[in-house]
Amino acid sequence: MEDLTDQAVAVLLLSLRIAPMLGFAQPFTLLRIPAMVRMMLGISLAAWLVHGNPEATWRAPFWDAGLPMVAAGELFLGVSLALALQLAFAALLTAGRTIDIQAGFGLAVLVDPTTRSQMPLAGTLFAYAGAAVFFGIGGPQDLLAVWAASVEKVPLGAASLGGDPAPMLEYMGAVFLMAIGLAGIVLLILFLLDLIVAFLSRTLPQMNVLLLGFQVKAIATMAALPFALSFSGALFAQLMRGALEVMPRLI
């Protein structure tokens, strides 16, 4: 009976390591999944990890550290792992927002029915393209491997509330640089169009250059975005792969 209690408590505690990823990190938040289903999936995955790693989970002396501290440590580790994917998709949304502002779509946003938040037009395309690439390269399988490795490296009760921020800072700079590279083609075209419109405003002041610029840049954005998405598959894959590769360094 005592072993069964230890296993049940270990499953609940270990689910705190998984719940932030499923509940708050994209691409999982891009899918309309009920909260109860997310919770049951997290508990099921935690039970799978507990069953496969008894020495590092329910047989570990996690009672000695105190349940509040163990729960806080597990939740902190889960948030750290989820932050890697959050930063990747935040970089994609930032790059898309930059395109929107440059193209004159700054006032136009989409309401995401899943998160009930406003998202930029181009950023939404980048986010869903990144989600497709994430699932296409086997991201969920890699996440399972990361969680399994985290249990082996950090047994239940050994997670701390601190860590080395250097890997996250290095990854943050790289991920935003890659995201701007994804939008680089569109931004370059829009910049050249701005130069042309500025030249026309000086030579033909009687033209409604502002209205002309909005129309031309909107058409150019719609024409250039498909090319930017189709020719940037390697960058999307590298960005998603970078998020998965930095997670073991955060454990």
Across 29-49, average pLDDT = 86
Among residues 251, 73, 68, 76, the alpha carbon closest in space to that of 159 is found at 73
Cβ–Cβ < 8 Å for 20, 78: yes
User: What is the residue-averaged pLDDT of the chain?
Assistant: 82
* 140-152 pLDDT per residue, tens: 999 999 999 888 8
What range does the domain containing 202 cover?
2-250
Cβ–Cβ < 8 Å for 238, 178: yes
How large is the greatest C-alpha to C-alpha distance in the chain, in angstroms? 87
pLDDT grade for 134, boundaries at 50, 70 and 90? very high
| Cut 0.85: pTM above it | no
Among residues 45, 39, 43, 10, the alpha carbon closest in space to that of 24 is found at 39
pLDDT grade for 194, boundaries at 50, 70 and 90? confident
For the chain, how many structural domains are there in total?
1
pLDDT grade for 27, boundaries at 50, 70 and 90? confident
**How far from 202 is each of 23, 104, 195, 199, 213, CA to CA, in Å?**
53, 21, 11, 5, 14
Residue 106 pLDDT exceeds 70: no
Residue 96 pLDDT exceeds 80: yes
Please give the pLDDT value at position 26. 85
Residue 207 pLDDT exceeds 80: no
Across 54-69, average pLDDT = 80
Please give the pLDDT value at position 72. 87
